[in-house]
Amino acid sequence: MERWLSVAYIAVVLGLGFASIWPQLTVRFARAEVKTTAAQGLVAQPGVTPSALQPGPIAPEVGKVNLNTASQAEIESLPGIGPALAQRIIEGRPYRSLEDLDRVKGIGPKLLERLRPLVAL
């Protein structure tokens, strides 16, 4: 009898432990659903892929930031640019080309390449 109580106790402890991590498991592996009415009729046809399921950009395209006219907050929204660097960019205006940014202290070749598709002059 004592042995069965030990086994039952272990089963209860393991069950409670599993129950406590279950919400994290269900969130991580939740099923994604496509909620478009056009996709429902097109999926059954071979060779036709609904536009909702076609590959495309992950994030919507955002307008480029003009470094000659942008506010400090707009410049800070760029990756790798903090308040101090944004202020130095503003102080170095005007820029005729993107390579002119290289003269700003704190902007190196790597950051310049990361900013290239995001900025305009």
Tell me if 51 is assigned to some domain.
Answer: no
Total tally of structural domains belonging to the chain: 2
pLDDT band at 47 (very low <50, low <70, confident <90, very high): low
Return the higher-pLDDT residue of 11 and 100.
100
pLDDT at 86: 94
Instruction: State how far the Cα of 65 lies from the Cα of 24, in Å rounded to an integer.
Output: 39
72 and 116, same domain (yes or no): yes
CATH number of the domain that residue 116 is part of: 1.10.150.320
Confidence (pTM): 0.49
**pLDDT greater than 80 at residue 39:** no
Return the higher-pLDDT residue of 33 and 102.
102
Could you tell me the residue range of the domain that residue 93 belongs to? 65-120
pLDDT band at 50 (very low <50, low <70, confident <90, very high): low
Cβ atoms of residues 19 and 5 within 8 Å? no
Tell me if 115 is assigned to some domain.
Answer: yes
**pLDDT greater than 80 at residue 12:** no
**pLDDT greater than 80 at residue 53:** no
60-75: burial string, b at 16+ Cβ within 10 Å, e else: eeeeebebeebeeeeb
Tell me if 16 is assigned to some domain.
Answer: yes
Tell me if 57 is assigned to some domain.
Answer: no
User: Cβ of 107: how many Cβ atoms within 10 Å?
Assistant: 18
